[in-house]
Amino acid sequence: MKSQNEIIKRIIKKSMELKRDKKYQEAKQLLLNGLQKFPQNNFLKASLGELFLREKNFFESERLADEILHMGYENFHGLLLKGMIYYEKRHYKDALDFFLHAYSQKRTGYLSSYLVRTYLKLEQPEKALQVCQEWEEREPDNVYLKKLKARTLEALNKEEQAKKLYEEIRKDSGDGFAYREEIRLKLKDLPPEKAIRELERIIKVKGEDENIHLHLQLARELEKLKNYREAVKHYKKVLEKEPGNPFVLKQLGFCYSRLKEYEKALEYLKKAFELDLTDYYVRSSLLFCYRKLNRQTEAIEFFKKIINQNPDFKNLWGIVKKLEKEVTADNEDQRTDRPADD
């Protein structure tokens, strides 16, 4: 008969496999079932909290983190989860405090990657590099940490070293993202027109048409020239392979907005905002499109739904109240403009 620890390890392992296969709902149900059997297990709570966080359900994720830390403030899983929540909310200083506290308990590659990214967000690349170098010795084959190191080197203005590292990663693992970054750094000082021609040549001549990372870079270069129509084509190419990519969704929304195709812009901006409720630029663009279409009432319903599903974002009520005032003012203007009865 299996022990409790063996059963929990098996649940965690299976949930990680499901997450890797992007079967998030199945992973969530598995963890919920596990918590019914072992309601006090902090590892299961933290794993479930990460899934809630992936859905931007900050309320449930934070509830689980607080439960874990209430049982013991030094708990590694609770500290890590709390740091991740603050990171996703873009409260990077708070995130760093929790990550460093967790790092003092246990050092893992997963936590280290968050620590590096947080240091970079706080514009502290020297400290980010120290963490990268420490983990380079422990996990020399960790591709993700190598990519973070290359990004850190670029932040330190060591672009040649960053480019060589991306090239090394690409040759060793065939990583498409590393190839894109290698190309991006090579083309960095070229005018956008020349960079576009070179990217088109690489995609066509070298048979890289399936490399979505290159299409993404090409789309970004096209945006620099305000060629939004062509940029849309390449962003959609990426979206075919990565339907929920938040960056691509919002860029499509921005492109369509600049093309004054506000209906299409709304389609993508709504999806992007639902994936990241903290994105101010997406929120502002959403409001701009709703107003351009004179659909403030629809905007009110959209934001109310978001608030109901995400209690942590009550600050959105301010937007709702402002929109309601606009609708009231429009209705009063319409009544004023009506011809008087004879």
pLDDT tens readout for residues 1-23:
568 888 998 999 999 999 888 88
* Sequence-separated (6 or more) residues with CB below 8 Å from residue 310: 56, 57, 58, 59, 277
Q: What's the pLDDT score for residue 141?
A: 87
Would you give the DSSP letter of residue 338? S
DSSP 149-181: HHHHHHHTT-HHHHHHHHHHHHHHH--HHHHHH
- For residue 167, the model assigns a pLDDT of 95
340 pLDDT band, cuts 50/70/90, is low
Asked whether residue 339 carries a pLDDT value surpassing 60, the answer given is: no
> Is the model's pLDDT at 341 over the cut of 60?
no
% of the chain with per-residue pLDDT over 90: 73
Query: Residue 103: its pLDDT value, please?
Result: 95
DSSP 75-126: -HHHHHHHHHHHHHTT-HHHHHHHHHHHHHH---HHHHHHHHHHHHHTT-HH
Among 54-63, 187-196, 210-219, the range scoring the smallest mean pLDDT is: 54-63
How many whole angstroms separate alpha carbon 23 and alpha carbon 260?
Answer: 37
Angle (deg, nearest 10), helices 159-173 and 176-187: 150
Per DSSP, the three-state class of 310 is coil
pLDDT tens digits for 119-175? 999 999 999 999 999 988 888 888 999 999 999 999 999 999 999 999 999 999 989
271-280 confidence digits (pLDDT tens) = 999 988 889 9
**pLDDT one-digit tens code per residue, 279-302:** 999 999 999 999 999 999 999 999
Mean pLDDT of the chain: 91
pLDDT (tens digit, 9 = 90+) per residue, 87-119?
Answer: 999 999 999 999 999 999 999 999 999 999 999
Can you give the pLDDT at residue 218? 95
Predicted pLDDT of residue 327: 86
Q: Tell me what percent of the residues of the chain surpass a pLDDT of 70.
A: 96
Tell me the C-alpha distance between 30 and 48, whole Å.
9
Q: How far is CA 236 from CA 34, 264, 268, in A?
A: 39, 13, 11
